[in-house]
Structure 1
Amino acid sequence: MDRQLNVKPKKKFRLSKVAWLVFGLCYVYGIYLIEPFKIHRERLAASDIGGSAYSYCLAPKPEQYEGAVIQVYAARTWGTKKILAVHTWIATKRQAADHYQVSQIIGWALSRNGTALFTEPGIPDKSWYGNEPTLLLDKRGSEAELLIGQVEAAIETYPYADTYTVWPGPNSNTFIAWLGLEVPELGLDLPSTAIGKDWRPWKETFGWSASGTGVQASVYGLLGLTVGFQEGLEVNVLGLSMEVDVFDLALELPAVGRVGTAPVDIDGSVSSTKTDKAGQ
């Protein structure tokens, strides 16, 4: 006898479910688009140099500290990119100046202004789209005064101000890394989450590392190797970096960032191990 196959009837997928799904996705996407710009508007509204409410007190106030200052900061970027990457910027204050100059690359401004490079008075240690800043480099007093002229000249001559690519670069992190190359006395060591820091033009695939204490081979920021006193041993694959910092007993991981000792001590001085050895 022929056996009847038990075939279960297919369930009809109701149109209402599709509509609710589309609505939900649009709602989430709308929050994703609107919230960063809301934070950005609030940040612009409080952009006055005296807006201490937005300062994390990582930089000495000009009215309390007369000496020169050079600082580099990093903070998680906005949107989904912040899972992997940070945005970096540099702040400078000359001897006896009453304000800081904040210099950074802002990609969205390129089409509007013809340049992505912004150098303007501002609060050096503000949040970036609501994300807390981390101090990466801090030089003050006579040491900063000796270097600040070189730093300002390098900022003005940054060659990729009219070009911006989120990945693999050049971007905001490429700019700060380039300053490190131009002024190696800074001893700059950017975190693994500073995607774009390893971007180099084809003709400069081989060269010094951003800290000036080592060497780097990088193929357009997509594949590279860095060995240096500040960086330790660093491997870059598709813009994601992993670093073993031998001298500071720290580890830099993609997306995670630094695990171990901080690059700058709580009192504002650069990690003492590296400072002492670099000065020898």
Structure 2
Amino acid sequence: MIQPKHLLILLLLPLLTACANNDWRTASRASAGIAPDPSTTPEPVIQVYAADAWGWRGIFAVHTWIALKPRNADQYTVYEVVGWRERRGLPVLRIEQDTPDRHWFGARPELILDRRGEGVDELITQIESTAQNYPWKHEYRVFPGPNSNTFPAWVAQKVPDLQLELPFRAIGSGWAD
């Protein structure tokens, strides 16, 4: 018979391992090599990524973000909500030129939407405009939201032609309903 203290250790081991392997101070933010090189890709690109959330949260949830590259642009613009920005008095909605497919604090991203070519220019314009009107730019709550998954879900509602479906582990995506 397993003693309660041994059972507790068995239950906590995966949690402790996930936390130990996700140290934000040393975790890679490098490209995962998924996004097309903007210098050789003239067509417009919209990509949406999901990666395991930081630390123990990654067992249950993902962090999602949107990357846009207009036609002939030489860089991507990344749109995402980052909770720690609120504590620093910054808007939680971060819109910056960045590596679109970077690891999220050590977690490799998964491509969940890839739109290119015809009609994408108009979608990019709609997403850029929609982002400016995001109602929770200064609010963040891990659960139930608004959080990093609320923003892409809200964009998906406002730009239905994007046809974005977030994964089940995108906790907080229902906040936009």
Q: Is the 8 A contact 2:22 2:106 kept in 1?
A: no
Structure 1: how far apart are the matches of 2:95 and 2:109? 18
Under a length normalisation based on structure 1, what TM-score does the superposition of the two structures give? 0.55
**Higher RCO, Cα 8 Å, sep 6+:** 2
Q: How does 1:17-36 map to 2 (within 5 A)?
A: 32=19, 36=23
Give the distance between the partners of 1:113 and 1:99, measured in 2 at CA: 27
Distance 1:199 1:38, change over 3 A: same
User: Using a 3 Å threshold, how does the CA distance of structure 1 residues 33 and 106 change in structure 2: closer, same or farther?
Assistant: farther
Asked if 1:38 corresponds to 2:14, the answer is no
- TM-superposed CA distance for 1:56, in Å, is 2.1
1:182 partner letter: K
| Residue 192 (1) aligns with residue 168 (2) | yes
1:34 deviates by 10
Q: Under a length normalisation based on structure 2, what TM-score does the superposition of the two structures give?
A: 0.85
Aligned equivalents of 1:133, 1:116: Cα separation in 2: 20
Q: Partner of 1:99: helix, strand, or coil?
A: coil
Contact 2:91 2:137 in 1 (8 A): yes
Counterpart-to-counterpart distance in 2, 1:115 and 1:37? 21
| Mapped partners of 1:86, 1:35: distance in 2 | 13
What is the alpha-carbon distance in structure 1 between the residues aligned to residue 166 and residue 22 of structure 2?
Answer: 28
- Residue in structure 2 matched with residue 125 of structure 1 by the alignment: 101
Match of 1:93 in 2: 69
Q: Deviations 1:191-234 (Å, cap 9, x if unpaired)? A: 0000000114xxx6xxxxxxxxxxxxxxxxxxxxxxxxxxxxxx
Pairwise CA RMSD: 2.0
Which residue is 1:166 aligned to?
A: 142
Q: Tell me, which stretches of 5 or more residues in structure 2 are unaligned?
A: 1-14
Secondary structure (helix, strand or coil) at the match of 2:153 reads helix
5+ residue gaps, structure 1, are 1-27, 44-53, 205-280
Q: Name whichever structure is richer in strand by fraction.
A: 1
Distance 1:181 1:35 in 2: 32
The superposition leaves residues 138-169 of structure 1 with CA deviations (integer Å, 9 ceiling, x where unpaired) of 11112211211000011111110111000010
One-letter amino acid of the structure 1 residue matched with residue 38 of structure 2: P
Partner-residue secondary structure (3-state), 1:137? strand
Aligned partner of 2:60 among 78, 84, 103: 84
> How many corresponding residue pairs?
162
Cα deviation digits, residues 24-56 of structure 1 (max 9, x gap): xxxx98x9489523135x53xxxxxxxxxx222
Aligned residue in 1 for 2:121: 145
Match in the other structure for 2:38: 62
